[in-house]
Amino acid sequence: MNRPEPDNKDLFAIADLAREFGISTRAIRFYESKGLLSPERVGATRIFRRRDRARLILILRGKRLGFSLRDISDYLSLYDADRTQQVSLLAEKVDERIALLERQRDDLETTIRELHEIKKLADARAGKIA
């Protein structure tokens, strides 16, 4: 009987991860080239383990939240290190990101108010011209 090895459920091909997360294999290879992922190789085939999959989840979440690859790399470099240090870095980066997003939101609100004023003025002038 050809039964898979018990630990094979912990192995993933690049195409499997790409399909699971809705990203391209090229994106995964890019993260690998940046040192964020370290799959094993069997010949030319990349073999990803659960740890790589977990790291990919963190990379994609970090990108979705707007963190730079540098920030993500710094966080992942502490992945196997002291959890206190990792949590401290995460809290610091989250605080920085929140502050940036709040500044951007304030800028957007100001811009929207100004555009509404310009629109009112344009509409008023258009009414006088017509």
Res 99 pLDDT > 50:
yes
SS3 call for 49: strand
Which pLDDT does position 130 carry in this prediction? 59
Return the minimum-mean-pLDDT range out of 22-31, 66-75, 77-86, 110-119.
Answer: 77-86
User: What pTM, to 2 d.p., does this model score?
Assistant: 0.72
| Domain housing 19 | 1-80
Is residue 4's pLDDT more than 50?
no
Total domain count for the chain? 2
Helix (H, G, I), strand (E, B) or coil at 48: strand
What is the C-alpha to C-alpha distance for residues 34 and 102, in angstroms, rounded to an integer? 30
27 and 74 belong to one structural domain: yes
Residue 19 and residue 39 in one domain: yes
For residue 103, give the amino acid letter.
R
Confidence band, pLDDT 50/70/90 cuts, at residue 78: confident
Please indicate, yes or no, whether residues 16 and 70 belong to a single structural domain of this protein: yes
Rounded Cα distance between 59 and 36, Å, is 8
CB atoms within 10 A of CB 46: 21
CA atoms within 13 A on the CB side of 89: 17
Work out the percent of the chain whose per-residue pLDDT is above 90: 69
